[in-house]
Amino acid sequence: MIIDETLCSSALKDLTIHAQRIVDTQGRTIKVELLSRLPAAYGDIILEDLFREMSPAQTLAVTEKQMLAGSILYSQTGISASINVDNNVLVEKALQQRLLEMCERYRYPMILEFTELRPMPPADEINRLFFEIKQHDITIALDDFGTGFNGMSVFADYDFDIIKIDRSMISGLESRPQKQKILQHIRELLNALEKTHVVEGVETDERYQSLLNLGFETFQGYLFHRPESIEDIK
């Protein structure tokens, strides 16, 4: 199946919303990340490939779909949702304004997770936008740290409240002392900058124990919960 504008528009309407729990060291759910999924009728299309072909306006429409689902979840359970935002929406003033309008419309304590798949625009400009977003009781997160273009300077230059550490950063952690040292320094840096964190992709007890030993406190992954229908979150 060829991914073109028609397919992107169709998929945007058909996307379903699932959720994966984010837990503390006791395994308690502290929030969920909302995840978009394609129905089986779309075959073997990879969602990331689809999003890559979407226009910035279309990816922002996906964000709004998640915001609506998150507002319903919060009203029913009191659980806050992390909502994905492709950082390509940050390059256009009109889309920045639309994002702000969405934050005003869906007023509840959500987390916006900005991807790191493209270079971030200048920090001064984006931090002004982040400041305005935070006025709506919204927390700002950097998603998938370790996979993108921006490096360690993104910690100090941009006003992210939460850093989500990508699964690639913890792969092979148990047998690689150098990786353990890097993660320890990242944890110390986050503490010094007073930023919180989520470690993604935790799938084994051994890896979980290694992360605990390094001082990490908030986790997401199959070891704890697989994505589930948003209706099943309680």
Q: Sketch out the chain's domains with CATH numbers.
A: 5-232 (3.20.20.450)
Q: What are phi and psi of 145, to 5 degrees?
A: -60, 135
Q: Considering the entire predicted model, what is its pTM?
A: 0.93
Strands 111-114 and 139-145: parallel
> In the chain, which ranges are continuous DSSP H helix?
5-14, 47-53, 56-77, 93-105, 123-134, 153-157, 167-170, 177-192, 205-213
- Three state DSSP letters for 25-49: CCCCEEEEEEEEECCHHHCCCCHHH
* Residue 228's pLDDT band (cuts 50, 70, 90): very high
pLDDT bucket at 148, cuts 50 / 70 / 90:
low
Are the C-beta atoms of 145 and 166 separated by less than 8 Å?
Answer: yes
Rounded distance, CA 221 to CA 204, Å? 9
CA distance 58 to 38: 15
User: In this model, does residue 153 exceed pLDDT 90?
Assistant: no
pLDDT at 150: 62
The whole-angstrom separation of Cα 30 and Cα 78 is: 10
pLDDT tens-digit readout, 27-70: 999 999 999 999 998 988 998 889 888 999 999 999 999 999 99
User: How buried is residue 122: exposed, middle or buried, by Cβ count under 10 Å (0-12/13-18/19+)?
Assistant: exposed
The reported pLDDT for the residue numbered 234 is 82
Q: Which two tokens stand for residue 92?
A: 């256009």
Indicate the pLDDT class of residue 174, thresholds 50, 70 and 90: confident
Amino acid at 215: G
